[in-house]
Amino acid sequence: MDADPDKWFFDRVNRNLIQLHSIEEVLYTGRTNFQSLEIIRTGAFGQCLVLDGKIQSSEVDEFIYHEALVQPAMIAHPHPESVFIAGGGEGATLREVLSHKTVKRAVMIDIDEGVIAACKRFLPNHSRGAFDDERTELHHVDARDYLARSGEAFDIIIIDLPDPIEEGPAYLLFTQEFYRLVRDRLTASGIISVQAGSASLTELLNLSAVYNTLRSVFPVVRPYQIDMPAFGGPWGFCLASLNLDPAQLSPEEVDSRLAVRALGNLRFYDGVSHRGMFSLPRYIRTALAAQTRLITDKEPLYIYHV
């Protein structure tokens, strides 16, 4: 390995583990009003978005993350028309939402306009024109404040935010109070999808605490995981609803709904993948069952990164 540190990006997975990525080119580096921002080209994963020193997305495997975050909730809903997205600055979450022709309106809230501007310039293949779609409404405001003030109801609410870090822009969007607000802004058959952090054996606190907090608000909560190579291991998500249970969908039903909605060009998600994501290994199920931590405004959860 080349010993020159300028040729390697140190992605701190946790306080005890660092993943190294070879740097072919630094395309952009700077700071927005909320966080540090870099766009780098790596040897293994191509162009990557880096926020506060953490890789958030890579052009090679972003489709895995974004299809997993968006498609299970969208397919579980019988006819999603209105969608709210918190975060998702690359535009790939928006892209996946708009792949459903049933969607009439997609409201995307990302407080950091600088991230979106950089991604439009350097990572246009993530959004693939989604920002210019006539169904898109983009606002650079606080997502929690928007939901509290608007009073609107949505079929799907997607929380695509960085992990909660102290003084970061997202930590108050992982709390019980926020999930209660989300519950009140869902339609009768609405679903919330949340990126819930690492699902690695030694890093289950965020996933299990998010799961437990959602269970205090919603009667149906279903955790699932995928493998994310650029993140260094498995990654966790949670779906929550008042009445719909995505985990009960058979592979055949998922594939049937995908066909009806003309979504045959997905690269990761289908009926078999759906069943596999919700088939969690025993150690994760044990950790989820044992977790008692509630994330609240007064006692937020911070995930160590630096």
Which residue type is seen at 74? M
Known catalytic membership, residue 2: no
Distance CA 151, CA 276 (A): 36
How many Cβ atoms are within 10 Å of 31's Cβ, its own excluded?
A: 11
Cα→Cα distances 251→76, 273, 275, Å: 12, 8, 6
Three-class DSSP category at 281? coil
Residue 305 contacts residue 103 (beta carbons within 8 Å): no
User: Which of the following is catalytic: 61, 160, 255, 270?
Assistant: 160
Which residue type is seen at 55? I
Distance CA 220, CA 147 (A): 22
Residue 204 contacts residue 37 (beta carbons within 8 Å): no
Distance CA 81, CA 10 (A): 41
Query: Which tokens in the block code for residue 28?
Result: 């952009």
Cα→Cα distances 298→194, 251, 295, 304, Å: 21, 41, 8, 18
- Cα angle, residue 110 at apex, residues 109 and 112 outer, rounded to 5°: 155
Query: Which tokens in the block code for residue 271?
Result: 């009926």
Q: Where are the alpha helices (DSSP H) in 99-173?
A: 113-122, 124-127, 143-150
Question: Backbone dihedral region of 52: left (phi > 0), alpha (psi from -120 to 50 degrees) or beta?
Answer: left
Catalytic residues: 160
